[in-house]
């Protein structure tokens, strides 16, 4: 191999630079956020339950909200029947933010941790913070 004295060190430098983020941050993962679920609206609820289960909502709430938006805007449906049979208004502002009024401590903490920027607030007005 011609110029091996240049190619081999070049490859080693390339591999070190490309793998640097992996080995530098090994074992330094940030802990998941502690979400504040202590709003007055939630505290007043007898049955502290969201429209779906906690596991479903933490994993798939954006798909649910997107299907709500499509159903309301395109099909004119206004109510959602949950898996437990209860009916809820399909409304981010009216249903979700009625309980989760602490956007900064609830929505933003998780979205910042995950590094996602939802498009909710391109149409909806950011609610004033309530404890």
Asked, for residue 95, whether it belongs to a domain, the answer is yes
Asked, for residue 18, whether it belongs to a domain, the answer is no
Asked, for residue 30, whether it belongs to a domain, the answer is no
Asked, for residue 77, whether it belongs to a domain, the answer is yes
Number of domains, the chain? 1
Asked, for residue 27, whether it belongs to a domain, the answer is no
The pTM is what? 0.70
- Rounded to whole angstroms, the Cα distance separating 10 from 5 reads 9
- The answer to whether residues 107 and 100 touch, using CB atoms and an 8 Å cutoff, is yes
**Cα–Cα distance list, 87 to 23, 31, 36, 62, 127 (Å):** 49, 35, 25, 19, 24
Asked, for residue 23, whether it belongs to a domain, the answer is no
Considering only residues 79 and 2, tell me which one the structure prediction assigns the higher pLDDT. Answer: 79
Confidence category of residue 1, pLDDT binned at 50, 70, 90: low
Asked, for residue 118, whether it belongs to a domain, the answer is yes
User: What's the domain range around 55?
Assistant: 36-122
Asked, for residue 13, whether it belongs to a domain, the answer is no
Helical spans, DSSP H, in 1-130: 4-24, 40-44, 54-70, 97-99, 107-114
pLDDT of residue 83: 92
């Amino acid at each position: 191999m011609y110029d091996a004295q240049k190619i081999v060190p070049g490859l080693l430098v390339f591999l070190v630079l490309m793998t640097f983020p992996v080995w530098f941050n090994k074992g330094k993962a940030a802990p998941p956020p502690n979400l504040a679920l202590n709003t007055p609206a939630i505290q007043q609820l007898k049955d502290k339950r969201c429209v779906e289960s906690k596991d479903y909502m933490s994993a798939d709430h954006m798909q649910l909200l997107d299907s709500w938006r499509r159903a309301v805007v395109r099909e004119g449906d206004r109510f959602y029947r949950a898996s437990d049979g209860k009916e809820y208004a399909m409304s981010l502002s009216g249903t979700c933010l009625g309980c989760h009024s602490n956007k900064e401590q609830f929505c933003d903490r998780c979205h910042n941790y995950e590094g996602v920027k939802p498009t909710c607030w391109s149409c909806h007005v950011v609610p004033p913070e309530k404890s």
